[in-house]
Amino acid sequence: MATIILLFLLLSALSTITALQKYSNITLGSSLSPKTNLSSWLSPSGKFAFGFYPQGEDGFIVAIWFAQVPEKTVIWTYNRDDPKIPSNVTLQMTTDGRLVLQPAEGQAKAISTATDSASSASMLDSGNFVLYNSDSDVLWESFTSPTDTIVQGQRLLAGSALVSSTSRTDHSTGRFMLSMQTDGNLVQYPASDTAWDKSWYAYWSSGTYRAGDNVSVNLDKDGHLYLLNNTGFNIRNLSAAVSPSDGTIFYRMTIDVDGIFRLYSLSPRGNWSIKWSSTNDKCSPKGICGLNSYCTLMDQESVCRCLPGFDFVNQNQQMLGCGRNTTVDGCENTTMSLLENTVWEDESYTILSSTNIEDCRLMCLTDCNCQAALFSNLKCRKQRFPLRFGRRDLSNPPTALIKEVGIRKVTTTNEPKANKQGEKVLGIEILITSVVIATVAFIVLMVSGVLIYRHRVWVYHQLSDTGSIGLNEEITLRSFTYLELEKATNGFREEVGRGSFGTVFKGVISNGERIIAVKRLERVVDEGEREFRTEMRVIGRTHHKNLVRLLGYCHEGSNRLLVYEYMCNGSLENFLFKPEKYPNWDERVGIALNIARGVLYLHEECETQIIHCDIKPQNILMDEFFCAKIADFGLAKLLKPDQTRTFTGIRGTRGYVAPEWHRNLPVTVKADVYSYGIMLMEIICCRKSLDMELQEDEIVLSDWVFQCFEEGELSKLVDDQVVDKKRLERMVKVALWCIQDDPALRPHMKKVVLMLEGTIEIPVPPGPTSFLSSI
Ligand SMILES: *[C@@H]1O[C@H](CO)[C@@H](O)[C@H](O)[C@H]1NC(C)=O
Ligand SMILES: *[C@@H]1O[C@H](CO)[C@@H](O)[C@H](O)[C@H]1NC(C)=O
Ligand SMILES: *[C@@H]1O[C@H](CO)[C@@H](O)[C@H](O)[C@H]1NC(C)=O
Ligand SMILES: *[C@@H]1O[C@H](CO)[C@@H](O)[C@H](O)[C@H]1NC(C)=O
Ligand SMILES: *[C@@H]1O[C@H](CO)[C@@H](O)[C@H](O)[C@H]1NC(C)=O
Ligand SMILES: *[C@@H]1O[C@H](CO)[C@@H](O)[C@H](O)[C@H]1NC(C)=O
Ligand SMILES: *[C@@H]1O[C@H](CO)[C@@H](O)[C@H](O)[C@H]1NC(C)=O
Ligand SMILES: *[C@@H]1O[C@H](CO)[C@@H](O)[C@H](O)[C@H]1NC(C)=O
Ligand SMILES: *[C@@H]1O[C@H](CO)[C@@H](O)[C@H](O)[C@H]1NC(C)=O
């Protein structure tokens, strides 16, 4: 008993001492310095501190952390990716009311973004660091710019995101993001900068897509984590209340280094414990294992494994992915290894029907471009390295075939014994092709059930929720009657566009549920119904997220109408050439890549190759998520003979057509590559390929681009936005390759995509022939 009283006295004595050091109101002229006894300002109860937090050897960051627990948990970091701060820097609340970092010599750097000068600052007990003006209004607060954590009472507002830290001790930007989107959905993505069209890579979502544009994440004092919509309705509970809200237990929600976000409570004893987590599957965050490696669970922990024939790039940091020293480029002396039950991102350049795995194996072995193949659901998907987002999946797995060099003597590689899931990696020799093994594998595959490979499993806004066509929907075209379409479009009243084939009208079907675009073909050849249906079927079978979907058609007498999904944001042209609507740099990069993927699909991945013949911004439509989709493909064959691809008539649009159209040369997919290159320049520069109002050397965009490229003055091409110089150069180089005069010099679309993504090196392009001289 006496001891307890003594302890109590001691504790209260200690807390009075600490109380003397409280800096609840930080006045002008105060400062902090890393290596002194005054390196942080505490909140009134001493729970939180703001100031210099040690990081690495001899370095500091400016942060807010829990000061009362042994493990001083950081909840906010200032400019997390800045270099570490040396110990001779001070943090000052200047006499003129600015919060700055002052190096030993040189310019001070402002921490707050407030423009007015502050009259005091305060580290609050809520964990918020606030600057006030003389009227005690809040000028700036740390709560509005969270890093990887929100604490109880703090909100994650629409349009903001949390990004995980690199590691538990390094608080710089890590690999995963939790984004509160303005479409109402709370979504997790890999945070890497190469994932431009992030929506494909989402691995968790709250499923509250379309809940309004102002949904926020809220965390109450009782540990209740939920989403509120604009009008204050609770639209989704993530975790139920954990404790009474008497404030004895403190809560925080953090997106952890491993990509999972968790709710933690701080017990009075000073230990954090997990109260809820977004998933228990530690392999689910996409990109948890790097390129050419896959994630597998061992005792609920994630472990990365390399593809057969690959080694970790860094043995000590296995999540960085795998590589190999030998390059397999070609088809000679190669074998295929089998890797079962793994799922990968599907970046196939060709999908072929294949009756069994042996068939698929041969398809890849004999194709010098093929480096790996995924076999599932009687489809063989040929891929090139790197393979991404791999994970073991015992439920619904395709089988991966990996091409290797040379004849591997070992046919079975046993994995370490520790592996309890009995993974097997087989190396199959080509020369003694074991038909038996293949047959057995095939039977096992058949027996193991329905192998529906969920192509692109995650779409961030759950398509099924919205009632629009899901990715797996059977591709069937509906045949409409003319009367139906006349009714749907209200007598063809609202014209939304006019193209080379005819006029487009807006309409609604399914009792007003679905908005459609009806294209009335006006200049097409009067072919028989059967031919028309054949063409429709070819278009109907195309199925790609960067192509506008054909939903149905009408063929009655001389009437030919096509029914497409409606794209509410109109054409790319509406954005590119209007200064007030210019897409920002990241959007431009995303648009360029999306279109390239769509064209690639038309050229190489769909069953019947389709040459678009008229790629230009007017034929690129933008959907509600600002995702670019190609329109008007597959119609070239329907045009009247004088407009089709005869060697004399020119399809396409002046400014975008490839020189071979003018030279009576055969037209191939490379003509589309040319048009794409011209359009890519327009996307980069947000201007038309020909603009007579500019100075003479700028009139022809391709010439101007090449001139700037040669002079190393690429920044002249873009507006003042901060752009990624390297990516700009990469895009310009790709565009210059695409517009080469000689079709053979132009890259195939697959290569264009790889170059844009930065997967392969881009050689310096030769100069283009002048646009004007090629006419
Ligand atoms: C601290 O500053 C706030 C806002 O300026 C003020 O309302 C409060 O009275 C001050 N508290 C103390 C103890 O000076
Ligand atoms: C900090 O240390 C200096 C001398 O080392 C001492 O004079 C000063 O009182 C200390 N300040 C606090 C708040 O303990
Ligand atoms: C401050 O510290 C850094 C790193 O320790 C050092 O490079 C720099 O020279 C120092 N500046 C001054 C003025 O001492
Ligand atoms: C969004 O919601 C938050 C909280 O419900 C509210 O404070 C804010 O004003 C709202 N913003 C808009 C633009 O409606
Ligand atoms: C918020 O949610 C409620 C209940 O689901 C709904 O009635 C209301 O319309 C929503 N508010 C907004 C602005 O979406
Ligand atoms: C969330 O949980 C609370 C109780 O904690 C309940 O009242 C509310 O209806 C739930 N909301 C939803 C959308 O499920
Ligand atoms: C905190 O948790 C660790 C591990 O869970 C345990 O070893 C330690 O005793 C706990 N400390 C307290 C104060 O509860
Ligand atoms: C690849 O090369 C590195 C060094 O160049 C070597 O350490 C490693 O063992 C090699 N890996 C293979 C599979 O040969
Ligand atoms: C294939 O292997 C044979 C025998 O090992 C060798 O002679 C030949 O050069 C190899 N071919 C290639 C292209 O590596």
pLDDT in tens, 227-262: 999 998 999 999 887 777 677 788 999 999 999 999
112 C-alpha vs ligand 3 centroid, how far in Å? Answer: 24
Q: Which one of the listed residues 197, 256, 346, 614 is annotated catalytic?
A: 614
Question: Can you tell me the mean pLDDT for 496-522?
Answer: 84
Domain encompassing residue 558: 472-565
Q: For residue 270, what pLDDT is reported? A: 77
Kindly state the DSSP code that residue 748 receives in the 8-state scheme: P
| Six-digit token string for 697 | 């050397």
Cβ neighbours of residue 228 closer than 8 Å, sequence gap 6 or more: 215, 216, 218, 234, 235
In a domain, 730, yes or no: yes
Binding residues: 519
Mark which of 565, 597, 623 sits at the end of a domain.
565
500 and 613 together in one domain: no
Signed CA dihedral, 492, 493, 499, 502: sign only? positive
d(CA 497, CA 268): 66
Q: For residue 517, what pLDDT is reported? A: 93
Of 31-45, 367-381, 611-625, minimum mean pLDDT range: 367-381
Contact 226, 232 (CB under 8 A): no
Question: Can you tell me the mean pLDDT for 327-353?
Answer: 75
670 lines ligand 6 (CB under 6 A): no
Q: Check which CATH number belongs to the domain holding 659 and give it.
A: 1.10.510.10
523 and 663 together in one domain: no
Looking at per-residue pLDDT, the higher value among 543 and 527 belongs to 543
d(CA 531, CA 28): 81
**Measured from the CA of 155, which atom of ligand 4 is nearest?**
4
| Residue 655, SS3 per DSSP | coil
In a domain, 282, yes or no: no
Sheet holding 272-277: strands in order across? 149-151, 250-255, 261-266, 272-277
Q: Check which CATH number belongs to the domain holding 28 and give it.
A: 2.90.10.10
Q: Known catalytic residue: 614? A: yes
Looking at per-residue pLDDT, the higher value among 184 and 637 belongs to 184
Ligand nearest to the CA of 326: 8
In a domain, 422, yes or no: no
The pick from 217, 219, 233, 234 for probing ligand 6's pocket by mutation, whose C-beta has the most ligand atoms within 8 angstroms, reads 234
Q: Check which CATH number belongs to the domain holding 551 and give it.
A: 3.30.200.20
691 and 728 together in one domain: yes
Ligand nearest to the CA of 206: 6
In a domain, 101, yes or no: yes
pLDDT at 72 over 90: no
Question: Can you tell me the mean pLDDT for 766-771?
Answer: 63
271 C-alpha vs ligand 7 centroid, how far in Å? Answer: 6
d(CA 748, CA 745): 9
**Measured from the CA of 270, which atom of ligand 7 is nearest?**
13
Domain count, the chain: 5
760 and 641 together in one domain: yes
The pLDDT-based confidence of 166 (bands split at 50, 70, 90) is very high
pLDDT tens string 259-276:
999 999 987 777 889 999
The model carries a pTM of 0.60
Question: Can you tell me the mean pLDDT for 635-649?
Answer: 46
DSSP, residue by residue, 597-620: HHHHIIIIISSS----S--SGGGE
As a 3-state breakdown, the chain gives helix, strand, coil percent values, each rounded to 5, of: 25, 25, 50
Beta strands 311-312 and 322-323: pairing type? antiparallel
CA-nearest residue for atom 7, ligand 9, is 333
The pLDDT-based confidence of 203 (bands split at 50, 70, 90) is confident
627 and 720 together in one domain: yes
**Measured from the CA of 25, which atom of ligand 1 is nearest?**
1
pLDDT at 771 over 60: no
In a domain, 15, yes or no: no
Tell me the percentage of the chain whose pLDDT exceeds 70.
Answer: 79
Kindly state the DSSP code that residue 524 receives in the 8-state scheme: B
139 and 153 together in one domain: no
726 and 584 together in one domain: yes
The position carrying tokens 């040319």 is 674
Q: Check which CATH number belongs to the domain holding 390 and give it.
A: 3.50.4.10
Signed CA dihedral, 692, 697, 701, 702: sign only? positive
Question: Can you tell me the mean pLDDT for 439-455?
Answer: 34
Mark which of 546, 565, 584 sits at the end of a domain.
565
234 lines ligand 6 (CB under 6 A): yes
760 C-alpha vs ligand 8 centroid, how far in Å? Answer: 21
pLDDT at 6 over 60: no
d(CA 747, CA 766): 13
153 and 138 together in one domain: no
In a domain, 11, yes or no: no
Contact 211, 225 (CB under 8 A): no
The secondary element (H helix, E strand) that includes residue 53 is strand 48-55
Of 291-305, 422-436, 591-605, minimum mean pLDDT range: 422-436
Q: How far is CA 594 from CA 223, 543, 569, 749, in A?
A: 41, 14, 16, 12
Mark which of 144, 160, 188 sits at the end of a domain.
144
> What's the Rg (C-alpha) of the chain?
30
